[in-house]
Amino acid sequence: MKIKPLADYILIEPISEGEKTASGIIIPETADKERPEQGLVVAVGPGKMLDSGERRPMTVKKGEKVIFSKYGPTEISVDGQEYLMAREDDVMAIID
């Protein structure tokens, strides 16, 4: 299934941080209770429609790694894969 975000929505594949401790202990995914705050942009909408009738272009592009607010995005599942759907305003930074 293909997902095409609308307006200023962004589809993000979450990236779990640190699956191994500094001492080398591997932490299973089931122990990860916090929502990730980083992800890979899978798809972006065309941009937000302004009151003037013009569309504001998206700053975030497909393929970029981003940092977003922890509780802003909505969790969705498509074909068994977990994704986050966020507004562009939820994205705080692009990681180079």
Q: How far apart are CA 82 and CA 88, in angstroms?
A: 19
Task: Report yes or no on whether pTM surpasses 0.85.
Answer: no
What CATH superfamily classification does 9-16+34-95 receive? GroES chaperonin (2.30.33.40)
Cα–Cα distance for residue pair 28/20, rounded to 1 Å: 9
Q: Mind listing the pLDDT tens digit of every residue in the chain (96 residues)?
A: 789 999 999 999 998 765 555 666 666 555 555 666 999 999 999 999 999 999 999 999 999 999 999 888 999 999 999 999 999 999 999 998
Q: Tell me the C-alpha distance between 13 and 82, whole Å.
A: 7
Report whether 45 contacts 5 (CB < 8 A): yes
For residue 39, list its beta bridge partners: 14, 66
* Residue extents of the structural domains in the chain: 9-16+34-95
Q: What is the pLDDT of residue 48?
A: 94
Contact 39, 68 (CB under 8 A): yes
Contact call for residues 10 and 37 (beta carbons, < 8 A)? no
Instruction: Extract the tokens encoding 54.
Output: 């013009």
